[in-house]
Amino acid sequence: MKPSNKQQQADGLLKNKLVKDEKPTNGRNSKGRFFIGMDSAFKGKKHSEDSRKKMSDSRKAYFKRVDMDEYRKYHVGKKQSEETKKKHSILSKKMWSDKKWAKEMKQKLSKANKRPEVKLKISKSLKDKPKSKEHSQKVSEAIKKWWQKPKNRKRMTGENSFYWKGGITPLRKAIRHSNKYKEWRISIMKRDNYTCQKCGERGGWKEVDHYLISFATIIKECKIKTLEDAFNCNKLWDINNGRTLCRKCHRRTFGK
């Protein structure tokens, strides 16, 4: 029995495909993909700025045409297989083992993470996401290990610290632990009925914040050098320049 015309055409296509795969052109198979072990002609080369702009414009135009609801059905929420994860892990370890590449990448990431828009995105992505106990334990151990090194402690203490204000910490502690400061705090909390002035929480642990003029600003502007100068500064003890906050809201005001 002779094979049909369709069967002959199918056999011919398969034969041509096998021939192309057995004798690849420029290391590619019949689908245009590179064979395992074959290097790309573009390996080690970089795209020009014009090429990058064209690719960027093309991608933007593509997503304008695509129905994003349909796109999400096929892409969003899908999980990678364990085999794919393992391949990505091996490739990532291989890349980061190159010290020169790793150093350049760390510098790029550090520079990018300092941009305000990137900080905002990171903050939004991490907001209200609880950390696991294992993660918290790892972070704690890493911080302790980091502080054990003398060079790291030197970088973050004294004049090298980001919070260095010219050696005024002892004076600030003396002011905050004085009886006059305690009386100032209590009078403001009584006035505010022990209620946080930002979130409205009443009761529990409450703190008092210098507002509208911060504590550090008053110290600097009034040139307070001693505890006696602080006691004689009326601006520092003005209850109209204070508000009651809960600990959570008070932390959010740091640096503002």
Are 208 and 188 within 8 A, CB to CB? yes
- 11 within some domain: no
Length of the chain: 256
Split into its structural domains, the chain has a count of: 1
Are 184 and 239 within 8 A, CB to CB? yes
Are 246 and 196 within 8 A, CB to CB? yes
Q: How far apart are CA 63 and CA 111, in angstroms?
A: 28
CA 170 from chain centre, in angstroms, equals 34
Q: How far apart are CA 75 and CA 7, in angstroms?
A: 37
Question: In terms of Cα–Cα distance, which of 185, 178, 190, 161 is closest to 228?
Answer: 178
Range of the structural domain that residue 186 is part of: 169-252
Per-residue model confidence as pLDDT tens for the chain (256 residues): 455 555 554 455 444 444 445 555 566 666 666 665 556 666 667 888 898 899 989 888 887 777 777 777 777 777 888 898 898 899 888 888 888 889 999 998 888 888 888 888 888 888 888 888 898 999 999 998 988 888 888 888 777 877 777 777 788 888 998 889 999 999 999 999 999 999 999 988 999 999 889 998 999 999 998 888 999 999 999 999 999 999 999 988 875 5
- Give residue 25's pLDDT: 55
Furthest-apart CA atoms within the chain: distance in Å: 114
Are 188 and 243 within 8 A, CB to CB? yes
- 212 within some domain: yes
Are 59 and 71 within 8 A, CB to CB? no
Q: How far apart are CA 243 and CA 211, in angstroms?
A: 6
The answer for 33, left when phi > 0, alpha when psi is -120 to 50, beta otherwise, is: beta
Identify the burial level of 244 via C-beta atoms within 10 angstroms of its C-beta, where 0-12 means exposed, 13-18 middle and 19 or more buried: buried
- Give residue 119's pLDDT: 87
Which residues are bridge partners to 206 per DSSP? 246
- 52 within some domain: no
- 245 within some domain: yes
Tokens of 72: 């999400």
- 214 within some domain: yes
- Give residue 19's pLDDT: 43
Q: What is the full DSSP assignment across 149-194?
A: SHHHHHHHSGGGSTT--SS-HHHHHHHHTSHHHHHHHHHHHHHTTT
- Give residue 184's pLDDT: 94
- Give residue 207's pLDDT: 93
- 190 within some domain: yes
Residue 57 identity (one-letter amino acid): D
Are 160 and 154 within 8 A, CB to CB? yes
Is 0.75 topped by the overall pTM?
Answer: no
Tokens of 140: 């704690």
Strands (E), 23-87: none
- Give residue 34's pLDDT: 62
